[in-house]
Structure 1
Amino acid sequence: MNFQLVQSARKGGGARPRRGVWLMKGAPPEQKTSSAAPPLRLVVVLVVVVWISLLYYQFPMLAGGGGAPLVTVGRSDSADDPCRGRYIYVHDLPPRFNADILRDCRKTKDHWPDMCGFVGNAGLGRPLADPLDRVFTGENGWYGTHQFALDAIFHNRMKQYGCLTNKSSLADAVFVPFYAGFDFVRYHWGYDNATKDAASVDLTQWLMRRPEWKRAGGRDHFLVAGRTGWDFRRSTNIDPNWGTNLLVMPGGREMSVLVLESSLVHEREYSVPYPTYFHPRSDAEVRRWQDRVRGLERRWLMAFVGAPRPDNPKNIRERIMAQCESTDGCAQLGCALGTSQCHSPYKIMRLFQTATFCLQPPGDSYTRRSVFDSMVAGCIPVFFHGMSAYLQYKWYLPEDHAKYSVFITEEDVRTGNLSIEAALREIPPERVERMREEVIRLIPTVLYADPRSKLETVRDAFDIAVEGIIGKVAGDRRGGAAAVDHIDTTSATDNHNLSPWQGLGSRRRK
């Protein structure tokens, strides 16, 4: 809109200006002749442009809000188009589905820690300030990121994606920036199921009325639900009051969804890494960190960070902790209820950096954030259940699991037939070195770069997820369900077809 500043002169006082009045372009010509108007108009226009730029670019990045994509491009059918086959259209959802949810972050305070401190900085949370050697600081890309903050992080990364299109009919996939994970939190305790599902029902009805949906019946749509898949399928969970029904209701079940842990019962449900504390801003930061962890002294054979599960006799955590306490080769951070060690990024990462192997038993679900924190530290993960990694994260982790990890069965630990320390010491040093190098190579693929910057050649977890989703959508168009990877759950344990919380406890804390 074009505005002009028009000066009003005093009666009989010549042309000396008295006050400025904003008028639409088209004011009478005699009101546009003031010699002071051009420079003043220029200053005002510059101020307005600066403020609009700040509000448009900075506020959505800090709050993870909704709105149209910040970058829109066209599409070329040219074979040399670098975005050919990679275009994404982002739905401009009403703010009630994302930005408004973040503004309700204090609604969680009665049952969860206040989430408001975790949604700033494009979803990364507060920058860390390492009190010891200044390694883990915001300047170096380290933040107090919440494990369930992926909704906002991913959305803000998508705003920087280089192949966005404003023509939905030409898009290779359609992104739905609904903050399903944050929506889960705000109404989980103390509300009926209808209230828990209200936003999901509203979203799916909104989507199914859109022309973009009709093109493929929603099968080219995807969203990020930054929790486990079981948190969004209440009617197929063993707990009829746990979570929402987003992935079961019409509209939700047609879309692909990226979750932190798949339920393995939905063919369009794909697992992506938990957010870690490290969010590099350049390729150089990634390389420097890899070089650092490669050269660290590993004085502990093994390490464990986690809380016991005394209410669940099948869980092996207490046995692992007992084995760790019985040897000088193991270090652990106790995370019993009421302690804060497991909430200190500094303590967690310092421990993982000094251990060769990091023990990763199931907790509230089969996998947990600690898996990815330890890998970022260059620590070789030790798994006790196939669902913790091997049956998931197929876009991210090598198919040959022995290249980067160790597997020990839960039964061997539960019955006391095996010493974890003895099993790890039997691994030849040269093989340990190869495994560690593979873990270090994988570091970029299991972290999310800072959404406010852009990596040049390094592919992070976001890049891999987008590539995977576009490939699945393209496969669906070519061959239907046959193009979707089939995950054979028969290789899991005898409860593979049940909710991950059956036999794993009910507290849902990591």
Structure 2
Amino acid sequence: MHLGSKDLAARDALSRDVVDWLAQRPEWRAMGGRDHFLVSGRGTWDFIVSPDAVGWGNALMTFPAILNATPRGDGYTRKSTFDTILAGCIPVFFHPISAYLQYIWHLPRDHRSYSVFIPHGDVVERNASIEEVLSRIPPAKVAQMRERVIRLIPTVLYRHPAAKGVTFKDAFDVALERVIDRVAKRRRAAAEGREYVDSVDGKYSWKYDLAQDREKMLAPHEFDPYINT
């Protein structure tokens, strides 16, 4: 198995061959591998070596993921949502409040640019296959979305305050800038004798936050069934 090889490509070659072969088998495709299991003749640690580490073992169990399902946990948003983005994976959401309606400042308003949305009802009530939905996304689109996710990483983490040579804006910077900007606009409006409206009250506020337009706020939206029930 070349577990001790210094040639990283050779060390992981058989593992990749096994994964590629399994993925093409009709038995695997029947249930997306959910009814399969692997029996290892060696300790687990031999198969979770970092892909770029020189030493004993291979990276069978650490091959990178491209998309990652992030269903609701005890709240609408799970920690895995941010772990997914930090890992450079495309998050797959099943409820809009999990991300789209909560993190307007930190995530793009166009949720299709960085994530996949599969309605919860399609999976639970209509038995939609998550694997089939994801498999229909063109590879070029997947690559584009991953690039967008990678660019989002700084906005969902907190950098160490003692870090030097760091120029990106982290999650705290983004939030602080938006608060300062909002206060400044309110002060300018007050000085001019007018009221500054940066959102609206009531059950339609989420529409205004997404569209930033009062007219569009009243139009039907794909997320209406999740909010109005």
* TM-score normalised by length of structure 2: 0.60
Contact between 1:356 and 1:380, CA under 8 Å: does it hold in 2? yes
CA–CA separation in structure 1 for the residues paired with 2:117 and 2:174: 25
For the pair 1:382 / 2:108, whether they are aligned, the reply is no
* Matching of residue 496 in structure 1 with residue 227 in structure 2: yes
Alpha-carbon deviations, 1:255-281, whole Å to 9, x = none? xxxxxxxxxxxxxxxxxxxxxxxxxxx
Task: Give me the whole-angstrom Cα distance separating, in 2, the residues matched to 1:443 and 1:474.
Answer: 28
Q: Is contact 1:475-1:483 (8 Å) kept?
A: no
For 1:457, the equivalent position in structure 2 comes to 167
Deviations 1:420-470 (A, max 9, x none): 100100000010000111111111111110122245321111111111110
Partner of residue 122, structure 2: 412
1:36-81 CA distance string (max 9 Å, x none): xxxxxxxxxxxxxxxxxxxxxxxxxxxxxxxxxxxxxxxxxxxxxx
Q: Which runs of 5+ in 2 are unaligned?
A: 1-15, 21-30, 37-49, 51-59, 208-219
Residue correspondences, number: 159
Residue identity (%)? 47
SS at match of 1:482: coil
**Cα distance change on mapping 1:382 and 1:364 into 2, 3 Å:** same
Give the 5 Å matches for 1:68-217: none
CA-based RMSD: 3.2
The answer as to whether partners of 2:96 and 2:226 remain within 8 angstroms in 1 is no
Superposed, 1:30-429 pairs within 5 Å as 326-328=31-33, 354-429=64-139
The runs of 5 or more residues in structure 1 that have no matched partner are: 1-296, 301-325, 332-345, 499-510
Distance in 2 between residues matched to 1:488 and 1:399, nearest whole Å: 11
Is residue 213 of structure 2 the alignment partner of residue 482 of structure 1?
no
Sort the Cα spacing of 1:420 and 1:495 in 2 relative to 1 into closer, same or farther, 3 A.
Answer: closer
Does the CA contact (< 8 Å) of 1:356 and 1:379 recur in 2?
yes
**Within 1, Cα distance between the matches of 2:98 and 2:129?**
20
Per-residue deviation, residues 200-240 of structure 1 (Å, max 9, x unmatched): xxxxxxxxxxxxxxxxxxxxxxxxxxxxxxxxxxxxxxxxx
Determine whether 1:471 maps to 2:202.
no
- Aligned-partner SS, 1:488: helix
Q: Which has the larger radius of gyration?
A: 1
Distance 2:131 2:153 in 1: 25
Q: 1:353: Cα distance to partner? A: 6.8
- TM-score normalised by length of structure 1: 0.28
Judging changes above 3 Å, is the alpha-carbon distance between structure 1 residues 495 and 357 closer, same or farther for their aligned structure 2 residues? closer
Name 2:157's counterpart in structure 1: 447
Would the aligned equivalents of 1:449 and 1:455 in 2 still touch at CA under 8 Å? no
Contact 1:374 1:380 in 2 (8 A): yes
Residue 479 of structure 1 deviates from its aligned partner by 3.1
